[in-house]
Amino acid sequence: DTEVTQTPKHLVMGMTNKKSLKCEQHMGHRAMYWYKQKAKKPPELMFVYSYEKLSINESVPSRFSPECPNSSLLNLHLHALQPEDSALYLCASSQRGLREGENEQFFGPGTRLTVL
Amino acid sequence: QKEVEQDPGPLSVPEGAIVSLNCTYSNSAFQYFMWYRQYSRKGPELLMYTYSSGNKEDGRFTAQVDKSSKYISLFIRDSQPSDSATYLCAMSAVASGGSYIPTFGRGTSLIVHP
C-alpha cells in the first residue's frame, strides 16, 4: 500500500456541528501532517505529528483539534467552525521523523469541507 | 519579499511544446527541492525531489536547481493535455528545532491545449 487515504471526500457542516476528518497511511511513515488549502493558494501547514507526538501546531484555532491514535492514523476533529474555514484539507505523510533529515511528503486526495 | 516566489500563470502552451516552470527563493539555507503536480480539487502529487544543485531527469520531466542564483526549474518535454494542472514548487532546510518543513510556492497553472 503506497498511498495516503482520506475520508470523507466531501463534507458539508453547519457552524454548530462536530465532525472529524480521517487520514490513513500504511507505508510505515513516521511523520504525518495536516494542511489547509484555499483555492489558488499553496497548502498551509496546520499540524505535524512525528512518531505519534504532536510536534508542530501552527497557531491553529482551537476549533481544530488533531489526534494521532496510532502510527497509521491521523484525525482532525472539527467543532464550531466558521464559513471561512471552508477549504480543501490535506493530509500528508513522510518516511522519516520530523527531525531526521530530508523528508519528501506524500499527500492524500484531500477532504473538501464546506461550512454553512 | 516572500521566501518562495512562483508566477501563478496561467501558462498556456500547445500540445508537444517544451514547458518551463520556475521558482525563485531568498533563503540560501534551502537544500531540498520538490515539484508537485496538483489537479483541480485533488491533493498534490510528488513529481520530483532533488538535493542541492544540479539536474535530475525522470521521463519527460527534468528538475534543475541553481543554488547560486536561488532559482529552480521544472521542464516538461512533449507536453500533453493531461499535464494541465497546477505545479507547486516546495523547498526545505533545517529550521529552528531541527525540522524540515517545506515552504511552498503559490503554484503555476499550466494549460496544454490540443
Print the SS3 string covering A53-79: EEEEECCCCCCEEEEEEECCEEEEEEE
pLDDT of B64 reads: 96
* Mean pLDDT (whole number) for A17-42: 94
CA distance B39 to A107: 12
Least Cα distance to A94 among A74, A66, A65 occurs for A74
Please indicate whether, in this complex, the C-beta atoms of B43 and A101 are within 8 angstroms of each other: no
pLDDT of A84 reads: 95
Which residues in chain B are contacts of A105 at CB distance < 8 A?
Answer: 34, 46, 102
pLDDT: is B94 or B16 the higher one?
A: B16
CA distance B18 to B11: 12
Would you call B49 an interface residue with chain A, using a CB distance cutoff of 8 Å?
yes
pLDDT of B98 reads: 64
Lowest mean pLDDT among A31-40, A46-55, A60-69, B95-104: B95-104
Average pLDDT of chain A?
A: 92
CA distance B61 to B48: 8
| CA closest to A10 among chain B residues | B41
Average pLDDT of chain B?
A: 92
The sign one gets for the Cα dihedral B50, B56, B58, B62 is positive
- CA distances B20 to B50, B74, B97, B110, B111, Å, are 17, 6, 35, 10, 12
- Tell me: pLDDT of A23 over 90: yes
* Candidate from B92, B101, B106 with C-beta closest to A41: B106
Please indicate whether, in this complex, the C-beta atoms of A40 and B99 are within 8 angstroms of each other: no
User: A114, A46 in Cβ contact below 8 A?
Assistant: no
Q: How confident is the model at residue A116 (pLDDT cuts 50, 70, 90)?
A: very high
